Structure 1
Amino acid sequence: MGVRAAAAGTALLVAVLAGCSGTVRVTPPSPTGTAAADCRALTTALPRTLVGLDRAETDPPSPYVAVWGEGEIALRCGVERPAAMAPTAEVSDINGVAWFQDPRTPALFTAIGRVAYVEVTISAQHQPGDVLVDLAGPIKAAIPEG
């Protein structure tokens, strides 16, 4: 996927998350093999409440997607490697999980160095560090380093 297509996909995801219905529309990824099994384990291990937000239903329902609030925080497991991530990209370690922050989309973080990439979109109303700390435990438990 090219950089322009990745940026458009991310913009679409963020725009979709801005909806205000009871069900949040999110395009699910399509992981395969071990990544798919690990992602299913992750979504069942994720907290029901994250930084004060309850988990919401998604449309379409997917074992690879979790959303809190009305799309304020969205997690997609089994996404492609971030297109903007260069070999020399700066990465933050938060509680044993390496996170790449997309420089083109500051609200987009991807857990890397694991069997599956885990993408998290965080609205400006929330501190990314708080969210990523709370997600580190379930990610480490469900998605092995790879």
Structure 2
Amino acid sequence: MHSSRHRLLTLPTLALLIAAAGCSSSDDGPRAAVPSPDAKVAKLCQNLDKVLPRTVDGLDRNDPEPRSALTAGWGSPAIILRCGVPRPAQMNDPEADGVEADDVGWLLQKQDDGSFRFTTTLRTAYVEVDLPKAHTADGLAPLADLAPAVKKAIPDGIAS
């Protein structure tokens, strides 16, 4: 995804959009489907898992089941990270929304339940972060917390 082809939202605009989503959710424990990337991407994802922060947006790590180096979580309801996901079809849409947090570009997808899904752009592996409705009030704070690890483990480039 080339950022000049997509509408980028500014931090204040995104904060308002996310704040409008409201808060409330509950879960019995995080669960996440484990991606099935090729060996090269799986290695990048394993490296990412090693450098992920212990806390995101002040929330302690709370990894989803089944346990995998390709998934991670924080808080409850959990902010879920999945590494090695397929390229989202919405990246083909020149009108898709994108954001940037600490020099990492993300495709922004608002979900029907008020949550948000962010997927990295211009990286050699796709990293997806699901931000539950209950954790949307802080805007891009979770992405900013994750950006140093993404930059360290997932090189710039185009994922295949």
Choose 1 or 2 for highest CA Rg.
Answer: 2
Matched, 1:90 2:97: yes
Given candidates 44, 47, 52, the residue that maps to 2:50 is 44
Is the aligned partner of 1:123 residue 2:129?
no
TM-score under structure 2 length normalisation: 0.72
| Backbone CA RMSD of aligned residues | 1.9
Measure, in 2, the Cα distance between the counterparts of 1:78 and 1:116: 6
State the SS of the aligned residue for 2:91: coil
The alpha carbon displacement at 1:28 in A equals: 0.7
Q: Which moved more, 1:57-66 or 1:121-130?
A: 121-130
Change beyond 3 A, Cα 1:107–1:45: same
Match of 1:26 in 2: 32
In structure 1, C-alpha distance between the alignment counterparts of 2:109 and 2:140, rounded to whole Å: 15
Distance 1:112 1:18, change over 3 A: farther
Where in structure 1 do 4 or more consecutive aligned residues deviate above 4 Å? Answer: 103-106
Closer/same/farther in 2, CA of residues 75 and 56 from structure 1, 3 Å limit: same
Secondary structure of 1:141's counterpart equals helix
Percent identical among aligned pairs is 40
Which residue does the alignment assign to 1:70?
A: 76
Partner of 2:20: none
Q: Does 1:59 align with 2:74?
A: no
Matched with 2:21 is: none
Q: Distance between the aligned counterparts of 1:143 and 1:124, measured in 2?
A: 27
Q: Give the TM-score taking structure 1 as reference length.
A: 0.79
- Which fold has the larger relative contact order, with Cα–Cα distance below 8 Å and residues 6 or more apart in sequence? 2
State the SS of the aligned residue for 2:43. Answer: helix
Relative distance call for 1:92 and 1:57 in structure 2 (3 A) is closer
Pairing 1:99–2:110 present: no
Quote the offset at 1:31 in angstroms. 1.3
Question: What is the rounded CA distance, in whole Å, between the counterparts of 2:92 and 2:111 in structure 1?
Answer: 13
